[in-house]
Amino acid sequence: GAGVSQTPSNKVTEKGKYVELRCDPISGHTALYWYRQSLGQGPEFLIYFQGTGAADDSGLPNDRFFAVRPEGSVSTLKIQRTERGDSAVYLCASSSDRGSTGELFFGEGSRLTVL
């Protein structure tokens, strides 16, 4: 596609439920990032993939969060046993490392609300 696509755009769930957020990066981009943004804050780094492997997952807050990118394209962020504090906008971004501009291309985000 022309840009980074994230689904769903909005997700409301109850505390304790399982949630999956999907990211479809720009075609050909090998690097994919997940960030979390709370109101009034900047994007908080969660995890970064280079190809299929997680190159850096140091930002995942705990073991309820994990992400996969099995074929090096689409990625899914999975949150188990959701808590109210998980409510935020989850941003996905992709980047091409060919030529290495370092520019991230962001999607519109998935707004997660945990009741």
Least Å distance between CB 97 and other proteins?
4
Cα–Cα dist 18/15, whole Å: 9
Contacts (CB under 8 A) with other proteins, residues 24-83: 31, 33, 35, 40-45, 48, 50, 55-56, 58-59
Query: How many residues sit close enough to other proteins to count as binding (CB under 8 A)?
Result: 28
**Complex with other proteins: residue 1 or 14, whichever CB lies closer:** 1
Cα–Cα dist 22/78, whole Å: 9
Least Å distance between CB 14 and other proteins?
28
By DSSP bridging, strand 105-106 and strand 88-95 are: antiparallel
Spatial contact of 34 and 13, defined as CB atoms under 8 Å apart: no
One symbol per residue from 72 to 111: x for binding other proteins (CB under 8 A), - otherwise; what is it? -------------------x-x-x-x--xxxxx-xxxx--
Spatial contact of 23 and 34, defined as CB atoms under 8 Å apart: yes
